[in-house]
């Protein structure tokens, strides 16, 4: 009887180190005795192979063109799909994978695993987003009823290829069920933080406004999806209304909105109060949150983001920091009114009031931090891990009876 470890192949159109969900799932498998190969994107200064926390990376010669037009995205997706298919198929000849997991976007990247599927490898599709809604938001000029129906078709075909499907929250799961996806093939695995990494006890956590200055932090992409322009305008409003309140904000991340945000800060006269240091590795994020006073999770509300739950707000809460987040349907579904503070998306005055509410009410702020922290403990990755491993084990055994 063979005693070789089980082997998993993951395909993701992303830089592996920058995708916490993919990393958590890959490292969870490694911690449970699996060997994991990940086929992902490659930067110009990176080699074709690397090992991160015992996960083997196969970096394919395709890079990301963030903020580019639709033709560039389609060419990039197509080039990656073909290269991933060829690389994973070649690797399977000597690795003999027991599981293939494909991460969206795009959904149809699952077709890169078709040769492995035909060879008998079970396929798990992890739908991070709703691609039809993403397309309408990201490329509004190309969005029309025909393109939307085509995107729904590719989504259904992609799901049909997979043996089982994961998604990141219950609203997205409800959407999939409404499209006819069999509930027995669908499991929600929340995109929640690893509390081993986001551990407030492992860092010196700055007391609120310890030096008299309110320090706001944002850790994420600098793209139009996240209404950082509203945050900047809210900061300018607070500066005008409360000149006695020193305030600084640091926006960690990169994206196609970086230059326009810096220009807006200068226009509002608050350039000396905000900083854009760029992206930092996920391992450094807990420390910068610990050194702040308040975390913001500002998401613009549209059909796409209305089904999203920001990982950022979960990370801030795990580090026991007060959180101000957009009042999205998913946020209200997962968090009670006595936890984090929400504001009406797009409303500058409401965001400014939410921030000042936390500044001016120490007792209420501390109570919210505790309540939000307890909720994040309930949603943490350690709890999601059990569901994820149950899906994987069921697929490898070839059944769906033990749910």
Q: What pLDDT is attached to residue 382?
A: 87
Q: Alpha carbon of 22 to those of 13, 145, 305, 345: distances in Å? A: 11, 32, 20, 29
Cα gap 321→293, rounded to integer Å: 7
Residue 1 lies in a domain: no
Do 330 and 391 belong together in one domain? no
Q: What pLDDT is attached to residue 137?
A: 79
Q: CB burial class (10 A; 0-12, 13-18, 19+) of residue 32? A: middle
Do 294 and 229 belong together in one domain? yes
Domain hosting 34: range is 7-192+382-397
pTM of the model: 0.86
Q: What pLDDT is attached to residue 403?
A: 43
Residue 205 lies in a domain: yes
Do 152 and 33 belong together in one domain? yes
Cα gap 130→304, rounded to integer Å: 7
Do 306 and 356 belong together in one domain? yes
Cα gap 359→365, rounded to integer Å: 8
- Is-contact 346 234, C-beta < 8 A? no
Residue 285 lies in a domain: yes
Bridge partners, residue 36, by sequence: 8
Do 205 and 183 belong together in one domain? no
Query: Which tokens in the block code for residue 389?
Result: 């491993």
Q: What pLDDT is attached to residue 148?
A: 87
User: H-helix or E-strand containing 259?
Assistant: helix 258-267
Strand 49-52 relative to strand 55-59: parallel, antiparallel, unpaired?
A: antiparallel
CA angle 354-359-363, nearest 5°?
105
Bridge partners, residue 275, by sequence: 250
Closest by CA to 162, choosing from 116, 105, 96, is 116
Do 256 and 358 belong together in one domain? yes
Residue 267 lies in a domain: yes
Do 102 and 234 belong together in one domain? no
Do 294 and 172 belong together in one domain? no
Q: What pLDDT is attached to residue 138?
A: 78
Do 160 and 275 belong together in one domain? no
Residues in the chain with pLDDT < 50? 1, 400-403
Residue 264 lies in a domain: yes
Residue 124 lies in a domain: yes
Do 139 and 11 belong together in one domain? yes
Q: What pLDDT is attached to residue 1?
A: 47
Residue with tokens 């309110």: 214
Summary mean pLDDT of the chain: 92
Do 79 and 205 belong together in one domain? no
Closest by CA to 285, choosing from 249, 251, 248, 323, is 251
Cα gap 362→375, rounded to integer Å: 20
Residue 402 lies in a domain: no
Residue 31 lies in a domain: yes
Q: What pLDDT is attached to residue 399?
A: 54
Do 94 and 132 belong together in one domain? yes
Q: What's the CATH number where 181 sits?
A: 3.40.50.2000
Q: How many domains does the chain have?
A: 2
């Amino acid at each position: 009887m063979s005693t070789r470890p089980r082997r998993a192949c993951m395909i993701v159109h992303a830089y592996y180190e920058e995708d916490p969900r993919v990393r958590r799932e890959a490292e969870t498998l490694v911690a449970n005795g699996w060997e994991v190969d990940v086929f992902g994107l490659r930067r110009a200064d990176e080699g074709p192979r690397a090992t991160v926390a015992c996960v083997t990376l196969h970096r394919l010669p395709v890079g990301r063109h963030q903020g580019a037009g639709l033709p560039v995205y389609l060419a990039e997706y197509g080039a990656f799909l073909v290269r991933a298919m060829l690389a994973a198929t070649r690797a399977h000849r000597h690795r003999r994978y027991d599981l293939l997991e494909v991460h969206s976007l795009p959904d149809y990247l699952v077709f890169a695993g078709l040769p492995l599927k035909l060879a008998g490898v079970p396929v798990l599709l992890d739908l991070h987003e709703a691609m039809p809604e993403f397309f309408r938001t990201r490329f509004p000029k190309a969005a029309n009823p025909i393109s939307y129906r085509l995107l729904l078709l590719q989504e259904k075909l992609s799901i049909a290829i997979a043996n089982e499907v994961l998604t990141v929250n219950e609203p997205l799961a409800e959407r999939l069920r409404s499209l006819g996806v069999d509930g027995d093939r669908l499991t929600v695995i929340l995109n929640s933080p690893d509390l081993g990494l986001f551990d407030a006890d492992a860092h010196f956590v700055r007391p609120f406004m310890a030096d008299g200055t309110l320090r706001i932090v944002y850790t994420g992409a600098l793209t139009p999806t996240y209404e950082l322009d509203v945050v900047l305008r809210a900061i300018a409003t607070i500066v005008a209304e409360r000149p006695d309140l020193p305030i600084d904000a640091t926006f960690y991340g990169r994206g196609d909105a970086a230059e326009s945000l810096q220009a807006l800060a200068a226009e509002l006269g608050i350039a000396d109060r905000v900083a854009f240091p760029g992206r930092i590795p996920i391992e450094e994020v807990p420390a910068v949150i610990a050194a702040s006073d308040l975390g913001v999770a500002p998401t613009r509300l549209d059909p796409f983001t209305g089904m999203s739950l920001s990982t950022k707000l979960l990370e801030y809460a795990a580090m026991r920091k007060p959180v101000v987040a957009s009042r999205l349907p998913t946020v209200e579904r997962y968090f009670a009114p006595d936890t984090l503070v929400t504001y009406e998306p797009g409303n500058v005055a409401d965001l400014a009031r939410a921030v000042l509410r936390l500044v001016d009410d120490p007792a209420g702020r501390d109570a919210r931090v505790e309540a939000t922290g307890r909720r994040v403990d309930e949603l943490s990755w350690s709890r999601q891990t059990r569901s994820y491993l149950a899906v994987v084990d069921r697929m490898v055994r070839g059944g769906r009876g033990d749910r």
